[in-house]
Amino acid sequence: MLPFFAAPPHLHLLGEARLVVQDRTVRLDRRTAAVLSYLALSGPTVKYRLAGLLWPDSEEHTARGNMRQLLRRLKTAAGFEVIEGQEVIHLHPQLQVDALELREYTFQGKHDEVISLKGRLLGGASFDDLPEFQEWLTGHQALLDQSRLVALRCQSQQAEARGDWNHALQLATEALALEPLAEDLYRRIMRVQAQMGQPEKAREAYQTCARQLNLHLSLPPSEATTQLLRDIEEGKRVPVSPVASPAKPRRWKDPPCLVGRGDLLQHMEEAWKRDQAILLTGPAGIGKTSIAHTFLGAKGHFARAGGRPGDLGVPYSTLRRAWGEFLAAHPRLVLPAAVRREMARLFPHLGPPPPPLETPADLKRFLEAGVQLVWATRRVFSGQLYDDVHLVDDATFEVGVYMLHRLQAPEGDGLPPRLVLTARTEELSSDRWAKLQGKVEEGHLVHLDVPPLSPAELTDMLRTLKVDGLDRWAEELYRFSGGNPLFALETARHLHQTGSETLLFPGKLPLSGRLKTLMRHRLSSLKQDTLAVARMCAVLSGEARPDRLGTALDMPAEQLQKSLQELEEAQVLQGWTFTHGLLEEVMLEDTPAAVRKWLHRQAARALEQHQGDPLRIARLWQAGGKPQQAILPLRKAAEEARLLGATQRAEAHLNEAAQLEDGS
C-alpha cells in the first residue's frame, strides 16, 4: 500500500543532499546520495549494476550485500520505500527532485526558475575513491551548469536590453563564474559598466579577460573585445546587446566538404586517372571520410568498409566484415570453386573447411582467392573506401598491402584498383607507416595529407549552413578549432542551440578532448531507451545489426526502429554505425564500468545466437566479467586460426582456454 503524503516528499540533490519528508529532514550519506542522484538522472537501473559502481573494489557478493543494507537503512530513515523495485530499481513516483525540476525548467525555457535553483549537484561531496561514479557525476554537473549558464546568459541579455544595469551585471557575473573564459560575458560586463559611467571598471574587466585567456589558452582577446575597449575609452556610444530571438531546434545538415578542398580533390583525380590507390591522412575531424565519400560518390556506386574499435585484437575481423557484407548483398554472385573453397576459411556457409594453411604456397593461394573476390566486387562497384586503416586488425592490413599491387595485374580484366584509404595520422603505427610508404615509393599508392581550413575557407563553410548569425563567430571558431571542420561545426551547433555567443574550454585541452566535450553535450539529450541502443552499438561496434541489437537488448523491433530513427535524427548514427568515430569513443568512455560489463555480456549472447566471430565473442565474455564463458569460443577461434595457417595463434587460444578452465 502506497503511503499518504500531505505534501510530496522532496529530494534535494543541488547543494548538500537531503530528503525532506513532511516536516522532517533526512540527511543522506554520500553513497546513498550517489544512488539517489544516479536513479534520478539516469532512470531505472539494474540494482547490482549500481552496486558495482559504488563498491568497485569489493567482491560481487559483498557489493550486493552493501546495496541491500543501504536500501534498508534508507527505508527506515525515510519511513517509506524511497527506492522501489527488485532487480531493476527506480525512485518512488511521488518523489520530487530539484535536479529534475531544473532540467524540466530548462526544456520549458523557464530561465528565472532555473536561476532560482541554487547549488551544484551533490555539492562538495568527494567521490575520488569511486572513479566511475565520479566520472558520471562530473558529466552531469557540467550539464546542469550548462543549463544555468544558458538561463543566466538569456536573462542578463534581456536585462541589458531593457536598461536594468545592476541586474544585468549581477547575472553576467554569475554566468562568468560558470564559464570564466567566455569573451561575450566580459563584453557584456564592459558594456554595462560603460552605461553605468564606470569606464575604469570596464578596463578592469578587459584586463581580467586578457589574463584568463593568456593563462588558460595562450591567446589574446579577440578583435571584437579589444575594439569595444577602445570605443569605451574614446567615449563613443556603446550600443546595448539586442535580445535575440530564440533559436529554433533544427537538424543540422553537414556542410559541403568540398569547401577549401579544390587542390586536394584535383590531386585525387590525377591519382584516379593513373589507376593509383589513394591514402588520405590527418587528425580526427579533419574531413577525411567526408572527402572520400564525396569523391567516390561522384564516380558512382562504391563499397564502404573500414576498421572499428575492437578489430585490432581479432585477426581478419575487418576483412570478414567487409567481404561478408559484400557476399550477403550479392547472394547470386558466382565464384570459382577454388575461390569458394579458400573463402570458406572465413565464411563457413560457402563450403566445408579446407585443409589448414601450412606453407607459403598455401597462404598465397588464399590471398589470390581474395584478389579474385575483390576483382568480382569491381564489376559491381566503381570504387571502394577503406576507412580508419589505423583500426584494422594486423591480418587484414597485411592482406590489404598485398592487394595494393596485385589488383593492378593484367588478368584483372583491366579494372584498376579504385581504392581510397583513410587513417588518423597520430594513430597509425610506425610499422604500418613504413609498409604504406613502401607502396607509395613503388607507385601503387598516393599519400595525401588533409590540411585544416584557412580562416576564409572556414567562413565559407559556415555560410553554407545558411544559419543566421554564424558569420560573427567565424573568427573565434577559427581560433579555437585551428581550422578543423568537425570541431568548428560541432562548436557552431552548440552555440546556436544553446544560445551562447562563445564556447571556450578549461585548460589547454587537445583538440580531440574539446571535440569530445561538445559531443557529450549532444549525447546528453538522448532518452534512456535510445541511449541503451547507442551504447550497445558502441559495444558491438562493427558487428552491430538490427537483429543483433534486438537480441542483445531484448527490445521489440518497433521500439528498436524508433530508437535508431531518433539516433539518426540526432546525427549520432547513420543506420547502425556512428557518424564519427569520436562519438563511438565518447559513448564507450562515458558508460559506467558496471553498465559496460552487462552490455558486453548481452552482446556476447547476441553474437553467439547470430553466429558471430568466436574470438570477438570470447573477448566480450571476458570484458563482461564472465571468463569461463569464453572457453568454448576460444577453442572455436583456435580452430579458425589453424585453418588460416596461424599455428602459433591457435596454440595461444587453446592455452588461454586451458588456463581459464584450470581456474574455474
Residue 33 reports pLDDT greater than 90: yes
Q: In 3D, which of 494, 428, 492, 434 has the Cα closest to residue 288?
A: 428
pLDDT at 252: 52
The amino acid present at 357, given as its one-letter code, is L
3-state secondary structure of 483: coil
Distance of CA 88 to the CA centre of its chain: 27
More confident residue, 66 or 300: 66
pLDDT tens across 521-531, in order? 667 777 777 88
pLDDT tens across 474-492, in order? 777 787 677 888 888 877 7
- List 18's β-bridge partners, or say none: 12, 27
Q: Which of 79-83, 150-154, 208-212 has the lowest mean pLDDT?
A: 150-154
Question: For residue 27, what pLDDT band results from cuts at 50, 70 and 90?
Answer: very high
pLDDT at 521: 67
For residue 581, give Cα distances in angstroms to 344, 384, 390, 551. Answer: 31, 19, 12, 24
Question: For residue 654, what pLDDT band results from cuts at 50, 70 and 90?
Answer: very high
- List 449's β-bridge partners, or say none: 281
262-449 is classed CATH 2.170.130: no
The amino acid present at 547, given as its one-letter code, is D
Average pLDDT over residues 460-472: 76
Average pLDDT over residues 65-90: 91
pLDDT at 403: 86
Q: In 3D, which of 181, 143, 284, 173 has the Cα closest to residue 508?
A: 181
Question: For residue 604, what pLDDT band results from cuts at 50, 70 and 90?
Answer: very high
Tell me phi and psi for residue 162, to 5 degrees.
-95, 5
CATH architecture of 10-136: Orthogonal Bundle (1.10)
Residue 560 reports pLDDT greater than 70: yes
What is the model's pTM? 0.56
Instruction: Please write down the HEC assignment for all residues of 453-469.
Output: CCHHHHHHHHHHCCCCC
- Is residue 99 within 8 A of residue 121, CB to CB? The reply is yes
More confident residue, 637 or 528: 637
Residue percentage of the chain with pLDDT more than 90? 34
Rounded Cα–Cα distance for residues 341 and 339 (Å): 5
Q: In 3D, which of 418, 424, 426 has the Cα closest to residue 445?
A: 418
For residue 94, give Cα distances in angstroms to 3, 20, 82, 84, 97. Answer: 10, 13, 9, 12, 10
Question: For residue 644, what pLDDT band results from cuts at 50, 70 and 90?
Answer: confident
Q: What is the mean pLDDT of the chain?
A: 84
pLDDT at 410: 55
More confident residue, 251 or 328: 328
